[in-house]
Copies of this chain bind each other. A is one copy, B any other.
Amino acid sequence: MMRLKVYADRMSQPSRAVLIFCKVNGIAFEEIKVDISKRQQLSPEYAEINPMQKVPSIVDGRFKLFESHAILSYLASAFPGVAHHWFPTDLSRRAKINSVLDWHHSNLRHGAVTFVVNTVLAPGVGLPLNSQLATEGEKLLSSSLSKLENFWLKGDGQFLLGGFKPSIADLSLVCEIMQLEVLDEKDRERILVPYKKVLQWIEDTRYATRPHFDEVHNILYKAKRKFQEKRSKQTNNETGPTDKITLPSKI
């Protein structure tokens, strides 16, 4: 039997959610890296898999699928080994999980991506940092975190909608927030620290999906250190003397 193929770049948060989901649930799959930094998602070969030229996508036998939420709900339904709490069959429970996931698109995801791209990532793909967009992104990101803290996480359990075990929505949204790791620490603290339940929920989701959560996020932790070193060098150059020999013309 052909194994499930997952086309992903671990630097993409929806890719990470799908990979962690497969690993936690013991789904046998082949991970095929589509390197966004090399624009591999734009290749004609990949357009045959996903004409939208984004990651992640899956191929299950002859069946192709993209959009991470659709992938997660498909996998939860198609693989019998997946525990029930990930995507309960109860109609009203499932509808609530869908509601969180639909809300995610234009709120948490849109805010987080807009902010992170326009404060950190844009130069890496040849785009300028746009401070106006960064400000708008932070506003939407913060209001989304506030809705998580005060509405989605207000139930009895430690997960979304009062759950005692994580659903696909917990995994998807926590992976989204994890991209804030690459921010300047001051930005990250300003944005996240006010939301104590959100911080605890990230830890609970990480714990519930250990050790796969950290293994799949490892690339992000490395990127975080790289960006920190870059910022630290910039600060030294800007604010004080340095022992390094530098070219005056570049200062």
Q: For the complex, is A66 an interface residue (Cβ under 8 Å from B)? A: yes
Number of A residues whose C-beta is below 8 Å from B?
A: 30
Residues of B within 8 A of A95 (CB): 63, 65, 70-71, 73-74
State A118–B116 Cα separation when bound (angstroms): 25
A99 near B51 (CB under 8 angstroms)? no
Query: Which of A74, A98, A99, A109 gathers the greatest number of chain B CB atoms within 10 Å?
Result: A99
Asked, given contacts A63-B92, A91-B77, whether A102 binds B70 with beta carbons under 8 Å apart, the answer is yes
Distance in Å: Cβ of A204 to nearest Cβ of chain B: 22
Q: For the complex, is A105 an interface residue (Cβ under 8 Å from B)? A: yes
Kindly identify, within residues 68 to 96 of chain A, every residue whose CB is under 8 Å from any CB belonging to chain B: 68-71, 73-74, 77-78, 91-92, 94-96
Q: For the complex, is A139 an interface residue (Cβ under 8 Å from B)? A: no
State A103–B54 Cα separation when bound (angstroms): 11
Distance in Å: Cβ of A102 to nearest Cβ of chain B: 4
Residues of B within 8 A of A151 (CB): 51
Given contacts A51-B147, A63-B92, A73-B98, 14 further A-B contacts (CB under 8 A): A52-B147, A65-B96, A66-B103, A67-B103, A70-B96, A70-B101, A73-B95, A74-B92, A74-B94, A74-B95, A74-B98, A77-B91, A102-B105, A106-B109
CB within 8 Å of B: which residues of A?
51-52, 63, 65-71, 73-74, 77-78, 91-92, 94-96, 98-99, 101-103, 105-106, 109-110, 147, 151
